Structure 1
Amino acid sequence: MPPPLNHPSLELQLLAQTFFVKQFPVDAGVPAAVASGLNAAHETPGIFSITRTREEISIVGEAVGDDGEWKCIKIAGPMEFGLTGVICNFTTPLRDANVPVFAVSTWNTDYVLVPKEKADAAVAALTEDGWKFRENSESSTSA
């Protein structure tokens, strides 16, 4: 299924850095090391997300060096808040290519993490589906 609109805000960027995705029991609270990283975020800006539900705490962040096991594809954004179907259209070719995803949404855009060993397959599947990657995207991944 093609992207919903041919618009620069829907161009993709494969980010160069690697990421971690961690899950903690909700009764464990946010680990002190993670909380201190959040407080230091103004010194090292980057992607860092904590989501707490009644069942769990999920934390996503940039890994140190190449220690992360995930790569991130950013939808350029900012997208109009009322725009619908973007994640569905984006993840359908990834599903068809057997690429698992972990999505993080912000007000402006979406970040979709894929296992780093599947990043090349994700880029190929999205490109074949008609999605456009920005020039400054990583041209090749190092799994």
Structure 2
Amino acid sequence: MELKRIDCKLTVCKVTEVSSINLESDLYFIGKTDEEVSLVCKTEDTPINTVERDDGWRGFRIQGVLDFSLIGILSKLSGILAEHKIGIFAVSTYNTDYILVKEENFERALNVLDAEGYTVV
């Protein structure tokens, strides 16, 4: 399985509303529930109206489109990283899964996954 690194710094935050989110950016995830509006975005695109924010994330995605019948892909990746004491923040889209790790663990996470047989590009 091929993993593609995302070559930018990311921020995970909560915002008061969505109007200040840069929807022109090529990378962002918005999650809205009855309790919050969460955003993952490039650090330089973080809106001013954040309620809370956590900078210093890096990420990679599973390359290709994952069929919904595939089971355990995210679980296996997160399990490998957990065994090496690397915490994650996962985001799923219709096509695939994205895994974020803190910047200080990024290269180590990719090296661990490479050693487990994943191809990192």
TM-score normalised by the chain length of structure 1: 0.71
**Match runs of 1:96-107 below 5 Å:** 96-107=83-94
Determine what percentage of the aligned residue pairs are the same residue: 29
Deviation per residue, 1:42-66 (Å, 9 max, x gap): xx4x22111012232210011229x
Deviation per residue, 1:90-125 (Å, 9 max, x gap): 111111111111111111111111111110121122
Whichever of the two has the greater Rg, that structure is 1
Structure richer in strand, relative to its length: 2
Segments of structure 2 that go 5 or more residues without pairing to the other structure are: 46-54
Q: Distance in 2 between matches of 1:22 and 1:77?
A: 27
Partner in structure 1 of residue 8 of structure 2: 17
Q: Equivalent of 1:80, from 51, 59, 67?
A: 67
Offset, 1:31: 4.7
Give 2:113's aligned amino acid: L
Partner in structure 1 of residue 106 of structure 2: 119
Local SS of the residue matching 2:119: coil
Q: Distance in 1 between matches of 2:19 and 2:34?
A: 20
Give 2:2's aligned amino acid: E
Offset, 1:23: 2.5
Q: Equivalent of 1:59, from 12, 28, 39?
A: 39
Structure richer in helix, relative to its length: 1
Give 2:13's aligned amino acid: K
Segments of structure 1 that go 5 or more residues without pairing to the other structure are: 1-9, 135-143
Offset, 1:78: 1.0
Q: What root-mean-square deviation, in Å, do the aligned CA atoms of Structure 1 and Structure 2 show?
A: 1.8
